């Protein structure tokens, strides 16, 4: 009955709008079996094999390394922005987190009173003076509002100066991380009277600075450290007051790096390796970044497993998805085959939850190939998304399974390598109505090979 419903819906759609070119099948309700209904939302919904034309997008400016240089470290999880500030010209300032939070210098780097490229603590850095800054547009990944913990760290050298801020002086929303004129690290939120003072900073000497906002603990911790040798523990303070729930650290405001508003003499400060994380880092994690010193950070190339839509069966309303160990559609279910920073659809599957039985094998479907068994489900693909960040992560509520639920409704989850027996499986889904449009790769989970997944848990 489901196969007939899919075929009827497909036929109706082809007759109604066969020339629209978008290849989307909009199904409101299908009746399955004895009164079981599957609701498929038209918004953002693509039956597998239909409109799979998303480009394989490489996140801009991402740094890769087959192996990290000696002494360098991989950054902790939760990074939402990383500006190495290595630029030597132009106005573009690249974010290396993979989320595309790129900035724009207040003018061409190296000219006039704009930021100048100088020797940084790790590679190059930018020298800010006379109000010069880098502006980063507002983005939901950088908006921490009144609930989200976060961490900001950087290396600084020079004179007292703003380091990172998104404070709006009119609305009193946002925050500022500042090298204070009293030679200490300062953090302020909302009204400037809500201020935390941290450990000392030595002028004209490289200093590692970090602030950690821990919302559940209602506290702010400030860290500073002077590089060795020898390497020493970071100095930290967690001064009063506690964080009020009313203090907003977002508000959709842009972020500024550097800048000396109201200071006609400028600040003359070098800032390097600015990072933002969407959680409260542990002191040990910050210590690891600090200990790496001028070796800096390094991101090891990570890959995840991907499949492809390989065949359609118009008689049964089913498709085959999967891959092979070699040949025209290879994949690697042990190490992964596609860079996790690529933006690809996620393959999701729906199977009736127990005590209901999976969808029965459709009449006429060949279910004799162990490597291409019937899955008992319906599959669909999400909108493209990077495999490493955002929704596809280990964070509860924003993991891959939750992303499927958010796209298609309760009962959906990310498809898994063994939803058949392995390598391939058959399921209800769409068909490729335009053979000239190829199927593209999409993310699939494998439950017994963690190295082949972009995420820690599905």
pLDDT tens-digit readout, 268-322: 899 999 999 999 999 999 999 999 999 999 876 678 999 999 888 888 989 999 9
What pLDDT does residue 9 have?
32
- pLDDT tens digits, 265-282: 568 899 999 999 999 999
Selection from 13-22, 43-52, 89-98, 116-125 with the highest mean pLDDT: 116-125
Q: CA torsion sign, 130 to 104 to 119 to 293?
A: positive
Give 111's contacts (C-beta < 8 A, 6+ positions apart): none
pLDDT digits 0-9 by tens, 361-379: 999 999 999 999 999 999 9
Token pair for 360:
């029965």
pTM above 0.85, yes or no: no
Q: If you write DSSP's letter for every residue of 60-124 in order, what string do you get?
A: TT---BSSPPTT-BPPPTTEEEEE-----SSSEE---SSS---EEESS-TTSTTS-EEEE-SSSE
Could you tell me which residues come within 8 angstroms of residue 78 by beta carbon, excluding any fewer than 6 positions away?
A: 151, 277, 278, 279, 281
Kind and range of the H or E run holding 7:
helix 2-17
Question: What is the SS3 assignment for 309?
Answer: strand
pLDDT digit string, tens, across residues 114-127: 899 999 999 999 99
Q: Give me the torsion for CA of 157, 162, 164, 167, rounded to 10°.
A: 170
Q: Which of 38-52, 84-98, 104-118 has the lowest mean pLDDT?
A: 38-52
Distance CA 47, CA 45 (A): 7
* Domains delineated in the chain: 2-59+302-452 (no CATH), 79-295 (2.60.120.200)
pLDDT score at 401: 87
């Amino acid at each position: 009955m489901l196969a007939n419903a899919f075929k009827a819906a497909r036929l109706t759609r082809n007759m109604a709008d066969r020339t629209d070119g978008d290849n989307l099948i909009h199904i409101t309700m299908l009746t399955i079996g004895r009164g079981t209904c599957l609701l498929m939302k038209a918004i953002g919904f693509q039956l597998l094999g239909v409109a799979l034309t998303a480009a394989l997008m490489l996140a801009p400016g991402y740094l890769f390394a087959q192996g990290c240089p000696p002494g360098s470290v991989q950054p902790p999880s939760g990074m939402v922005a990383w500006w190495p500030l290595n630029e030597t010209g132009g106005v573009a300032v690249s974010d290396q987190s993979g989320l595309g939070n790129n900035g724009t210098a207040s003018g061409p780097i190296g000219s006039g009173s704009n930021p100048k490229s100088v020797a940084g603590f790790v590679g190059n850095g930018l020298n800010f003076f006379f109000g010069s800054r880098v502006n980063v547009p507002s983005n939901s990944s950088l908006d921490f509002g009144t609930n989200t913990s976060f961490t900001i760290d950087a290396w600084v050298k020079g004179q007292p100066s703003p380091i990172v801020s998104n404070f709006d002086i009119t609305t009193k929303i946002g925050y500022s991380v500042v090298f204070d004129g009293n030679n200490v690290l300062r953090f302020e939120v909302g009204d400037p009277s809500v201020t935390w003072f941290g450990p000392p900073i030595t002028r004209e000497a490289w200093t590692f600075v970090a602030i950690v906002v821990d919302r559940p603990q209602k506290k702010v911790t400030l860290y500073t450290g002077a590089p060795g040798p020898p390497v020493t523990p970071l100095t930290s303070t967690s001064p009063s007051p506690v964080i009020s729930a009313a203090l907003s650290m977002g508000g959709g405001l842009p972020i500024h790096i550097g800048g000396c508003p109201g200071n006609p003499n400028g600040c003359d400060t070098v800032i390097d390796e600015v990072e933002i994380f969407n959680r409260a880092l542990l002191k040990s994690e910050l210590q690891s970044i600090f200990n790496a010193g001028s070796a800096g950070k390094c991101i090891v190339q990570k890959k995840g497993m991907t499949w492809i839509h390989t065949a359609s069966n118009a008689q049964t309303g089913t498709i085959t998805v999967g891959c092979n160990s070699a040949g025209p559609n290879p994949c690697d279910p042990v190490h992964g085959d596609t860079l996790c920073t690529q933006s690809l659809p996620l393959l999701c599957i729906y199977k009736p939850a127990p005590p209901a039985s999976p969808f029965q094998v459709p009449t006429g479907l060949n279910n004799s190939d162990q490597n291409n068994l019937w899955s008992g489900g319906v599959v669909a693909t999400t909108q493209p998304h990077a495999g490493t960040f955002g929704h596809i992560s280990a964070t509860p509520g924003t993991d891959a399974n939750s992303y499927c639920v958010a796209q298609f409704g309760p009962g959906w989850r990310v498809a898994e390598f063994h939803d058949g027996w392995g390598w391939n499986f058959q399921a209800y889904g769409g068909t490729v109505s335009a053979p000239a449009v190829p199927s593209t790769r999409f993310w699939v989970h494998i439950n017994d090979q963690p190295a082949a997944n972009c995420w820690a848990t599905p």
